[in-house]
Amino acid sequence: MFHSLEGLANGRPPQHERHKPENTLLYQIVEKYWPVFQDELNTQAKNLPFFVANEFDEYLKCGKLEHGFLRVRCSSCHDEKLVAFSCKKRGICPSCGARRMADSAALLVDDVLPHQPIRQWVLSFPFQLRFLLANNPQAMGKVLGIVNRAISTHLIKKAGYKKSTAKTGSVTLIQRFGSALNLNLHFHTLFIDGVYQQKKNGRLVFHRVKAPSASELNSLVTKISQRIARHLEKQGLLTRDDENSYLTMDGLDENVMNELQGHSITYRIAIGPQQGRKVFALQTIPAWEDDFSNSQVGKIAGFSLHAGVATEARQRRKLERLCRYIARPAVSEKRLALTSNGMVKYHLKTPYQDGTTHVIFEPLDFIAKLAAMVPRPRVNLTRFHGVLAPNSKYRINVTPAKRGKGCTKKSSANNNQKSFAESRKSLTWAERLKRVFKIDVSVCSHCGGEVKIIACIEDPEIIEKILTHLDAKSDTPAHHLPKSRAPPQGLLFINK
């Protein structure tokens, strides 16, 4: 996405190349069918929310030189390149999603997660609650608090302490997508795999706990499901009788986004003549699984709790890979393809238990699935709890960055700690490329000189003149400006 492997055979690091989204299949599908999708909704007198339409419009501009760029120049050999602007959106753009993934993982490992064992807890919800939580950020926050308190209490009791004498902490990354491009809101929570005991002198002592057993997971997921149900009942969002539970829809408006999200959650076609039917899928013979894999998951009434992935204190690289996996973008371009009849085929990350390996969409329904996954603006999808919470008085003592409540400029200077601005300033786009892909874009690939930004070009007329001069629109290789010079001297598918 960001680089070329050319040069590895010669022992040189991979070289940076301009990201060209117009050459990707995802961009081509969105560019062709996004206007058609909008026209289809207009004929039905339906309109998408502004933030969803803006997500697609900005994605179509992301990485395109026609919409603005930076000029960067080597201070030694004066080689110049053009760097296009990014959309910086959170929904469907794989390029910006990958940058955010690298940034989030680096922040968590370098500044937040302590050098202690870390365990990942994954909680999935029934279809009805996925829809409710995706549409109600306030309810989602309350539910996350319930889940966090239940797991924290479990860890503290298992360590043999009480809440008043022991603390734990966690970071939750809220994912809104599933492997089949379905809307599947679930929690990935990185818990410190143990508790901190507070001594009388104020010092914190860490005590590790054992991994949860199958019976503990089942007991814990049962407790979580009951507490969530009681909370939603009190809020008037859930009505239960002796046999079933029903969501109260009074607080939700009937709009096109609710329709798209409802179809996405239940794996159904959202638009077109096949609307309401199950999405098409390719299947193979289901893989045989023994009871051992099921014993690592607690399940009840559509809730699923998994806690089988953990890292040791010394495994910081493994922890960063885990953070990147959790913070990955929703759409994987490598798993996207077209069938011979123009359908969109998406390869599942892992086959389902029924043998499903691919899902197949009509192009317009594929756009609908992308629209359903776009998050609402100003809803934080990363949450901190316990000793890792920003307002915790213990945060300064357990996090690697030593920042938190009670941290002063004087104490920070005495400990030779970087300020927050200094720490975040160092992790620029160039630093992310260097950290993840071993590419240093601040160094010239020709002579090794320092590369600097010399101009920011945003005026459409100037952009058009520069690109016309370089014939950039018809040139498939990366765009390079000429070196500076002295002034002149005078498949088959089945219905799942």
Is the pLDDT score of 94 beyond 80?
yes
What percent of the chain shows pLDDT beyond 70? Answer: 78
Give the span between the Cα atoms of 281 and 127, in whole angstroms.
19
- Give bridge partners of residue 386 from the DSSP assignment: 169
pTM for the whole structure = 0.83
Q: How far is CA 70 from the centre of its chain?
A: 27
Per-residue model confidence as pLDDT tens digits over 343-380:
999 999 888 888 889 999 999 999 999 999 999 999 99
**Span 140-167, average pLDDT:** 95
Beta-sheet strands, E only, within 243-334:
245-247, 280-283, 297-300, 303-311
First to last CA, the chain: 33
Per DSSP bridges, beta strands 204-208 and 194-198 are: antiparallel
Q: Say if residues 91 and 370 touch (Cβ distance below 8 Å).
A: yes
Q: How many residues does the chain have?
A: 496
Does pLDDT of 7 surpass 50?
no
**Residue from 36, 40, 35, 3 nearest 19 by CA:** 3
pLDDT of residue 139: 94
d(C-alpha 472, C-alpha 456), whole Å? 17
- Non-local (6+) Cβ contacts of 448 within 8 A are 76
pLDDT tens across 8-47, in order?
A: 344 444 555 667 888 999 999 999 999 999 999 999 999 9
Q: pLDDT category, 109, cuts 50, 70, 90? A: very high
pLDDT higher than threshold 60 for residue 3:
no
Tens-place pLDDT, residues 269-291: 998 888 888 888 887 766 555 44
Report the distance separating Cα 291 and Cα 297, nearest Å: 11
Token duo for residue 234: 């009190």
When pLDDT is averaged across residues 457-480 and rounded to a whole number, the result is 70
pLDDT over 80 (residue 408): no
CA pair distance 271, 263, nearest whole angstrom: 9
Q: In what order do the strands lie in the sheet with 194-198?
A: 166-167, 194-198, 204-208
Percentage of the chain modeled with pLDDT above 90: 52
Identify the residue with better confidence: 237 or 410.
237
pLDDT band for position 184 (cuts 50, 70, 90): very high
Report, as an integer, the average pLDDT of 391-416.
71
| pLDDT (0 to 100) of residue 452 | 83
State the Rg of the chain over Cα.
25
Give residue 254's pLDDT: 65
Mean of per-residue pLDDT scores for the chain: 82
Tell me, what DSSP letter sits at residue 269? -
Name which of 107-116, 401-410, 469-478 the model is least confident about.
469-478
Sign of CA dihedral 387, 391, 394, 396: positive
